Structure 1
Amino acid sequence: MKNTAKKLTLWALAWPIFIELFLQFLLGAADTLMVSRISDDAVAVVGFSNQLFSAVTTLFVTVASGAGILIAQKLGARKNEDARTIGIMSLTVSFGIGLALSAVLYLFPRPISAWLQLPEELLPLAETYVSIVGGGMVLVAVMSALNTAIRNTGNTKGPMYIAIGMNVVHVALNYAFIFGAWGFPKWGLLGVALSTVICRLLAVLVLLFMFLHAFERPIRVRDLKQFHRGLFGEILRIGWPLGVNMSCWVFSQLAIYAYIAMIGAAELAARTYMNTLESFCFMLGYSIALALQIQIAHLFGAGRMQEAYRTAYRALFIGLGIVIVNAAVIYLLGKPVLGLFTKDETIVAFGVSLLGLNILLQPGKMLNMAIQNALNAVGDTRFTMWISLGSLTIIATGVSYWFGIGLGWGLTGIYIAMILDEYVRGALALTRWRGRKKLREAEGGMADDKVQASGIRQESVLDV
């Protein structure tokens, strides 16, 4: 890679990621707004389907995430061919997993929706939407692999530009298919599904072109048959705990939404709107955490352990400052902003009651995101998996039910449990990072390599 040092500053990596995430957020908001013009049932089906799709993506994120970290480490160690091979395997394996998921979702949309307790009157709409968008899940798998590989080479601008293009095309196609504009047929929810798949297909084609030229040696079509068992083992070693970690988070969120639904419809609406406000709050902090993971993985691969260790704290302090300011702004402006979403005074009151708790939530979330990503970057993914498995199961899922339902504290009790979960995971991750376990192991391995190389040189001199 050329000019790698220039590209790998925290800000240079973070701001394109932020723009990409922000545009993805706008894409979802525009989707919801336009689909609401069809019917409330259509909105419910899209929301339900997105939860289903989020759950199944964990199957290929395992490969893509592990591959991304290894690509950054190998490039940092100047093992460009290994990085290239890992990128190729990530793409081909993700394609295979995505193809299998697409087949299942395309063939069995109605039984799957019924099994997940979707109301019977919504099943016809779900059959249409899940079969088309779910049938294109292979595109999501390929996008994930390509995006992650490209981003971890240090090129975070490429995926950002593609996100911009996707937003423009998706909104235009949604408008055309929903309202029958510009001579297009008026297809309603079918049109929204087709619009989603078309945008993803176009994005995959552009990302694929970018991926073929992402490494020092261009990738040819015949290279896609490459498979290295040892390197794939490294991908799984790092990747499978990340998949478990993500699965724990997805299912804990599903459980929390189910608890809130048990409390009442107004509370569920308030949580949904607060989730939107919180996304604005932590999005830049999350971008910094993702950029930090890329930067530390490169430094770790290059053997710059002290710099990697300090970089985590620098990013954490920057991120904390950003999310605290954002949370304070939302606290001050929250009531009028919530009023833009709904005129229901009960829902607004529930949302306003959570604004103060959000100020406590966001620093814990930032601590958790930054330090867990730092640990993941050096390959300590099993530790982050175990703390997530424990805290998300016991606190985020169990204590949320106890506080919210058992003790009758409602939405406030659930938020308190969410705050507790973030700080527990963050504190455990910080303790692990301060111990420098993986960094010391890597330093020891480097020292052994130097001793071995020195011995080989001495033997060569004696032979002469």
Structure 2
Amino acid sequence: MSIHKPQLPGNPNTGNKIKSIIILAIPAVIENFFQTTLGFVDTYFVSKIGLVEVSAVGISNALLAIYFAIFMSLGVAVNVFIANFLGANQQKKAQHIAQQAIMMAIFLGILFGFVTLFFAEPLLRLMGIAPNVLEAGAIYFRIVAIPSVLMSLMFVFSSILRGSGDTKSPMIISIVINIVHALLDYVLIFGFAFIPSLGIVGAAWATVIARFLGAIGLYLYIRKSKSVSFVKEYWKIDWRHQWELITLGSPAAGERLIMRAGQIVYFGFIVALGTNTFAAHQIAGNIEIFSYMIGYGFATAATILVGKQVGAQKFDEAKHYAKLCTYLSAVFMTAIGVILFFFGGWAGTFFTTDSKVIDEIKIALQISGIFQPFLAIVLVLTGAFQGANNTKFPMYLTAIGMWVIRTLFVYLLGIRLGWGLMGVWIGIGLDIILKAVILWIKFRRGNWILTKVSPKEDPESKCHPQTARENMSCCPNNY
């Protein structure tokens, strides 16, 4: 059987490397754009109902971000393992780890669904929100989060495809489901023909339906993949691989959970500034997040390319790809920063006519525009470190940045000094700048690559699952 390998040059010049990066990054950027649009469309349509509903969706999404942290960490782990294994020409191992990740995703999705069913209100109360916001938030949160298995499967399916070097298929699915989502949002929120107006409930159901379609579409693409298509014998739980996924993914989960826990704390500070200020923060965040699509796109390329080069033991190539991804992302995100600085206030007028809220949105996005180059460094180097099996360092750095810098300065500047939303966003910017500087120093020192996969003989030749039981000496991992 021939093994499909993504077309990555072995020792290309810089021009060819840039081309490889762009080929992987552009579909990821487009995918991120349409994924971001899902939240943007929700916020836009819900803002037409009222600021209470905007706050309800925003606070619900802040809690959902904790769920995402767990699902994304599993996605990071399987992405890295698949990239490493394929870089080392170990296709069967890539297929096996992919299917193990899917089984874990199903378990985690069902688990978080039950958590939502029984603890929706207590979780939302942690945010210290007003009773009218709590009522709307609980309705929205339950509808979108009880079927959490759809979210977990989408994260893992997308990561499997990206790890194999396929960033186009997740992009296509993202485009399709976001078009469907936008249409459903309008119809279900405001009503159309015989369909009644459902308000915030309609926004929630539009999101669930879109995720269901996305999970089905990604599954079908994996079934057609030459690199990671399913093997019947691998649908059996392998506890060793489950532990490997947990070991590599846990620091990534820890990083995101630390970030989300800190967000809950400083979101509470922002809520204390008033419902309108929190709404301004949410709207500014939904506008600014479009800048993240560039950084996440190049971070995806960095994870894939670094992961494959590390799997092939080509460490100098891995470092060069990481540096190029960082430079390219910084250039593009600086341009986005200029746009945010000069046009952020104008973008806010699409969400609200309240002049005070618009002014706060403008100030927040001007501050955001200034730290965009630093954000590029943080996003891309985090992706590169993950591709090199180094998920712990970004976790430690996030913990320091979130609790020593961000939360502290959000409180001091936003609350104690009375700078309001401006102080909040300055605190966020200081955290990002610190992390960018430390990541860059670590990267330049060159001790950030951790290798866990060595290029051994492809297990396909001697360790096919049908013969694994007969030859355990060459198949310690039951391949």
Match of 2:26 among 3, 15, 19: 15
User: Could you state the TM-score of these two structures normalised by the residue count of structure 2?
Assistant: 0.84
| Mapped partners of 1:266, 1:191: distance in 2 | 23
Code of the residue aligned with 1:402 in structure 2: it is: L
Match of 1:109 in 2: 120
> Please, which of 399, 404, 408 is the counterpart of residue 389 of structure 1?
399
Deviation at 1:266, TM superposition (A): 5.1
Alpha-carbon deviation of 1:81? 0.9
Deviation at 1:226, TM superposition (A): 2.7
Counterpart-to-counterpart distance in 2, 1:58 and 1:263: 27
CA contact (8 A) 2:252 2:391 kept: yes
Q: Cα 1:399–1:177, aligned 2, differ >3 Å: closer, same or farther? A: closer
Paired AA for residue 168 in structure 2? K
Aligned residue number for residue 191 of structure 1: 202
Normalising by structure 1, we get a TM-score of 0.87
Any residues of structure 2 matched to 1:252-291 within 5 Å, and which?
252-265=262-275, 267-291=277-301
Distance 2:248 2:315 in 1: 19
- Larger RCO: Structure 1 or Structure 2 (Cα < 8 Å, ≥ 6 residues apart)? 2
Structure 1 match to 2:436: 426
- Counterpart selection for 2:106 from 95, 99, 102: 95
Matches within 5 A, 1:344-355: 344-355=354-365
The whole-number CA distance in structure 2 between the counterparts of 1:264 and 1:114 is 16
Give the letter aligned to residue 318 of structure 1.
L
Who wins on radius of gyration, i.e. which is larger?
1
CA distance in 2, matches of 1:37, 1:414: 26
C-alpha deviation, 1:297, in angstroms: 0.6
Q: Name the Cα RMSD after superposition.
A: 2.8
Pick from 347, 357, 360 the counterpart of residue 370 of structure 2: 360
How far residue 279 of structure 1 moved from its aligned partner, in angstroms, is 2.0
Which residue is equivalent to 2:466? none
Q: Indicate conservation of the 8 Å contact 2:99/2:234, yes or no.
A: yes
- Deviations along 1:297-330, one digit per CA (max 9) or x if unpaired, are 1111111111111111111111111111221233
Distance in 1 between the 2:422 and 2:96 partners? 49
Q: Is residue 87–residue 149 contact of structure 1 (8 Å, CA) maintained in 2?
A: yes
Alignment of 1:159 onto 2:161: no
Q: Measured at CA, do residues 264 and 126 of structure 1 come closer, stay the same or move farther in structure 2, by a change above 3 Å?
A: closer
Task: State the percentage of identical aligned residues.
Answer: 25
What amino acid maps onto 2:422 in structure 1?
T
| Among candidates 321, 324, 331, match of residue 334 of structure 2 | 324
Alpha-carbon distance in structure 2 between the residues aligned to 1:117 and 1:330: 30
1:29 alignment partner AA: F
- Quick check: 1:374 aligned with 2:399? no
> Aligned partners of 1:191, 1:444: CA distance in 2, in Å?
47
Change over 3 Å in CA distance of 1:122–1:423 after alignment to 2: closer
- Please list every run of 5 or more consecutive structure 2 residues that lacks an aligned counterpart in the other structure: 10-18, 456-479
Distance in 1 (alpha carbons) for counterparts of 2:49 and 2:356: 26
Deviations 1:60-104 (A, max 9, x none): 333222111111111111111111111101110111011011123
SS at match of 1:183: coil
- 1:72 equivalent in structure 2: 83
Counterpart CA distance in 2 for 1:273 and 1:244 is: 27
Change (3 A) 1:303 1:35: same
Contact 1:114 1:123 in 2 (8 A): yes
| Cα distance in structure 1, aligned partners of 2:241 and 2:451 | 18
Instruction: Give the Å deviation of 1:395.
Output: 0.3
* Farther off after superposition, 255-264 or 91-100: 255-264
The alignment status of 1:244 with 2:246, answered yes or no, reads no
- Report the CA distance shift for 1:355/1:161 in structure 2 as closer, same or farther (over 3 A): closer
Partner of 2:467: none
Change (3 A) 1:2 1:198: same
Contact 1:303 1:443 survives alignment (8 Å)? no
Alignment deviations for residues 218-273 of structure 1 (CA, whole Å, 9 cap, x no partner): 314x4453333333333222210000101122222333332233344554344333
1:382 and 1:315 map into 2 onto residues whose CA distance is 21
Alpha-carbon deviations, 1:352-385, whole Å to 9, x = none? Answer: 4445533431111111112222111101111111
In terms of fraction of residues, the more helix-rich structure is 1
Letter of the 2:296 partner, please give it: Y
Q: Answer yes or no: is 1:142 the counterpart of 2:153.
A: yes
Q: Give the partner amino acid of 2:185.
A: N
Q: Is residue 28 from structure 1 mapped to residue 39 from structure 2 by the alignment? A: yes
Are 1:71 and 1:83, in contact at CA under 8 Å, matched by a contact in 2?
yes
Aligned counterpart, 1:449: none
- CA separation of 1:116/1:341 partners in 2, compared to 1, >3 Å: closer, same or farther? closer
Instruction: Spell out, residue by residue over 1:94-142, the C-alpha distance to the aligned partner (whole angstroms, 9 max, x if none).
Output: 1101101112313443454446544334555444333322211111111
Moved more, 348-357 or 87-96: 348-357
- What letter corresponds to residue 320 of structure 2 in structure 1? R
Task: Tell me the distance in 1 between the aligned counterparts of 2:112 and 2:441.
Answer: 39
* Change in CA separation of 1:351 and 1:42 when aligned onto 2, cut-off 3 Å: closer
Q: Is the 8 A contact 2:336 2:372 kept in 1?
A: no
Give the whole-Å Cα distance in 2 for the aligned partners of 1:390 and 1:406.
21
Using the alignment, how far apart are the partners of 1:271 and 1:121 within structure 2? 19
